[in-house]
Amino acid sequence: MKRFCTQIKNLLACNYYSFRLKEVSKSRAILKPGEQLQITGIVRNNGFRPGTTYIIIELANPYDHSDVVFDSNRDFDTAARQTLRLIDISVFGDKTFGCDVQLPRSFGSGVLDIRLSLWTPSKLFNPPGIHYSAYCFHETQWTGFIELVTSNMPMEKVFLSFSWQSPEHLEWIRELSEELVRHNIDCIVSPKDLYAGEEITRFMEESVVRSPICIAVCSSSYTEKANKRDKGVGYEISVLTNEILNGRQRFTIIPVIKDNPAKKMPDCFGSVKYIDMEGQNWRTEPLLKLVTAVKRASEKLRR
């Protein structure tokens, strides 16, 4: 009902133009200060004329929304603001948007709420000191969006080795890496740390060699590719095997079972004890076992 009333108000006030936010999402839910957050979404033209709208994104202290720590209209440069102007959206059509927000290193631990608003383009083109009337088509409520994690202690660094088995498995990998950040463990993982244009094999090799600890997520696809030395997983296993031959301690490779009904690990792991993270309760005892294993391995390496 509220959406309908807003639409009618827009149509009457703005010469049959109207827009609403249909969807918004984020690349990550848990970050460290200084990291980059990607925000994407979909805007729907629910008016009766093709038109253009301008998006403003705000992040604020959840306990005081007047404390806006990020405002795209204030903090983005001209070029970045222009990317949030969605041009010529067809009647009852959708248009996607996306932007990267660099979170300042000065941010502390806590959570940030988000609010998005859709404006007439005059909101973007207002010259400083000159006022043009700008109309807001749609403004969302403040909602919880991201969590920021900091620590006074240096973060443990691990490499997360996995197979791109399915979209659901990849989403779980993202969730695992974020949960580990809460425990002061920073994961090097390809969806986050490998950028377009970089050499994939070099990334894998450097990640394996430079990371003191490797978490191997042994899905059924991972085990199959590792045993066949197939594709990226096969290459990473070859590098790990070579590292072991050159003196790397086996306890620095921690196997995790996920999406693997047979619970079969790669042959090269031998009888190493794994952590079973199948099921919905992996964030409880299994996650704590993994955190303990990582920290124990780190302590042994420092001795």
CATH code, 74: 2.70.50.60
- What's the distance, Cα to Cα, between the start and end of the chain in Å? 65
Element (H, E) at 102: strand 94-102
Residue 7 is part of which domain span? 2-148
Taking residues 121-141, what's their average pLDDT? 80
Residues 68, 196 within the same domain: no
Quote the pLDDT of residue 194: 67
Which of the pair, 245 or 115, is modelled with greater confidence?
A: 115
Q: Any idea which of 83-97, 131-145, 192-206, 231-245 has the lowest mean pLDDT?
A: 192-206
CA distance 237 to 224: 12
pTM: 0.80
53-83 tens-digit pLDDT: 999 999 999 999 999 999 999 999 999 999 9
Q: Of 98, 118, 148, which residue sits at a domain end?
A: 148
CA distance 282 to 66: 38
Phi, psi of 7 (to 5 degrees): -60, -45
Residues 19, 138 within the same domain: yes
Residues 194, 265 within the same domain: yes
158-207 tens-digit pLDDT: 999 999 888 999 999 999 999 999 899 988 888 777 677 777 778 777 78
Q: Does residue 130 surpass a pLDDT of 70?
A: no
Q: Of 116, 148, 180, which residue sits at a domain end?
A: 148
CA–CA–CA angle 58, 63, 65 (5° rounding): 30
Domains contained in the chain, number: 2
Residues 13, 142 within the same domain: yes
Q: Of 102, 130, 148, which residue sits at a domain end?
A: 148
Per the listing, tokens 């690990």 go with 265
